[in-house]
């Protein structure tokens, strides 16, 4: 009987390692990323492991070598230098007023100012952030590391409220621009989110970020690949097959059908949803685990706002430029639907540069009909005539 403890809902790398939770080693990819660049952005759907990735980076840059014992990073990293870290987590607030964003930025900055000090001339969030970066570098002798988790949460929650979204955009645009102006004091910066707001939005000035969301070498930096599944959970696969009275092959096919199928670029390996996969192993039942954690209000509001024809979802076609960015003034909801994980890449026409999109797997397809469609269309799922 397997003794693995699955880290469902646990996003802290140190807790996972110290408390003996199951962990799939992503540290070789993390090491490659850290050693080959300084500024990164990664878009992935919710509950795909972005916060754990941020936490792992934090442990690495704090020089916590003991947490990486037995992992690839232990042999790869030689220095284990400790850097000053500014970790901003925008998950913790409900952004329904301008004050909600101001309060979390102020709370975060005040915490750091207690450590590194402040200056009277620093009267805006951007100036305070800039001053902190400069002082942290001067006081420690090491460039700073900046980790921002769910950078886009305020913008997403303000979809449908153009005035509030404009205020959030202006605040965040100035705040994030510090990453470019203070380049000489920054060792590494990493931003995660569900979506990428571009063009006239928060990324318009931040053009030094390397967006690895659709880079083939980083497709499995979050989530679980087929190889990782079999390398790490082979015993558990046989136990789950026995529990479900399936053959090993039948069980693997069913897992693939339900939870695999996320493609973050064309001609890439499929990625399993880690949240649903680990819940299935823990409870030994197939279910809509990812969908049941909540229908994103922003997605429903976006579909309603643009009167999107739901029958198009199963066979959408679009370009890389559309997939990879969101203009907050656009009428096209496809980038948000794709980046939120409800659609994935199914094919690519190299001649015309056109991507074919569709549901990644059975969980999303069934969950869409059961949970999202009635919410959007105000109908009963059983009575709905909509077919995929």
Q: What is the pLDDT of residues 350-386, one digit of tens each?
A: 888 899 999 999 999 888 777 666 766 654 444 444 3
Helices (H), 217-372: 226-243, 248-259, 274-283, 289-292, 297-305, 320-323, 334-339, 362-367
**Does position 206 have pLDDT exceeding 80, yes or no?**
no
**Does position 329 have pLDDT exceeding 60, yes or no?**
no
Sign of torsion over alpha carbons 272, 274, 275, 276:
positive
Residue 335 structure tokens: 């980038």
Chosen domain end from 243, 265, 291 = 291
* Structural domain count, the chain: 3
Number of Cβ atoms within 10 Å of the Cβ of 159:
22
Asked if 80 and 178 sit in the same domain, the reply is yes
The reply to whether the predicted model has a pTM over 0.85 is yes
Check: CB of residue 40 under 8 Å from CB of residue 53. no
Q: Which domain holds residue 252?
A: 224-291
pLDDT tens digits along 56-79? 999 999 999 999 999 999 999 999
Residue 345 lies in a domain: yes
% of the chain beyond a pLDDT of 90: 65
Strand blocks (E) in the chain: 39-43, 85-89, 144-149, 186-193, 210-211, 224-225, 271-272, 316-319, 344-349, 354-358
The pLDDT assigned to 221 comes to: 97
Residue 381 lies in a domain: no
**Does position 49 have pLDDT exceeding 50, yes or no?**
yes
Averaged confidence pLDDT in the chain: 89
Residue 256 lies in a domain: yes
Q: Which of these ranges, 131-135, 187-191, 236-240, 301-305, has the smallest mean pLDDT?
A: 301-305
Chosen domain end from 291, 319, 339 = 291
Asked if 28 and 142 sit in the same domain, the reply is yes
In a 13 Å sphere around the CA of 112, the CA atoms on its Cβ side amount to: 24
pLDDT tens digits along 161-202? 889 988 998 899 899 999 989 999 999 999 998 877 664 466
């Amino acid at each position: 009987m397997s003794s693995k403890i699955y880290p469902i809902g646990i996003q802290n790398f140190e807790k996972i390692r110290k408390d003996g939770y199951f962990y799939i080693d992503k540290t070789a990819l993390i090491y490659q990323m850290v050693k080959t660049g300084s500024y990164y952005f990664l878009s992935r759907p919710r509950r795909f492991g972005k916060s754990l990735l941020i936490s792992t980076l934090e442990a690495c840059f704090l020089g916590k070598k003991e947490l990486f014992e037995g992992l690839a990073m232990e042999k790869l990293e030689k220095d284990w230098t400790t850097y000053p870290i500014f970790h901003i987590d925008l998950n913790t607030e409900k952004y329904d007023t301008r004050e909600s964003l101001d309060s979390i930025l102020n709370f975060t900055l005040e915490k750091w100012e207690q450590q590194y000090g402040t200056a009277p001339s620093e009267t805006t969030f951007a100036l305070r952030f800039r001053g902190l970066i400069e002082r942290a570098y001067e006081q420690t002798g090491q460039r700073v590391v900046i980790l921002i988790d769910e950078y886009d949460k305020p913008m997403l929650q303000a979809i449908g409220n153009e005035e509030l979204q404009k205020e959030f955009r202006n605040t965040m645009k100035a705040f994030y621009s510090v990453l470019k102006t203070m380049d000489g004091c920054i060792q590494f910066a990493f931003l995660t989110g569900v979506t990428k707001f571009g063009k006239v939005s928060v990324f318009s000035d931040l053009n030094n970020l390397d967006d690895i969301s659709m880079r083939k070498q980083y497709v499995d930096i979050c989530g679980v690949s087929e190889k990782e599944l079999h390398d790490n959970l082979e015993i558990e696969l046989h136990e789950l097959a026995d529990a479900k009275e399936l053959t090993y092959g039948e069980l693997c096919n069913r897992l693939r059908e339900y939870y695999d199928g996320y493609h973050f670029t064309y001609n890439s390996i499929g990625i399993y949803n880690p949240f649903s996969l680990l819940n299935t192993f823990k409870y030994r039942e197939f279910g809509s685990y990812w969908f049941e954690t909540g229908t994103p209000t922003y997605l429903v509001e976006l579909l309603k706002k643009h009167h999107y024809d739901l029958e198009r979802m199963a066979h959408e076609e679009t370009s890389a430029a559309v997939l990879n960015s969101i203009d907050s003034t656009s009428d096209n909801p496809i980038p948000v639907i794709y980046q939120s994980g409800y659609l994935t890449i199914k094919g690519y026409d190299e001649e015309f540069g056109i991507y074919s999109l569709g549901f990644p797997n059975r969980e999303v397809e069934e969950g869409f009909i059961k949970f999202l469609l009635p919410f959007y269309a105000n109908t009963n799922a059983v009575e709905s005539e909509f077919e995929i």
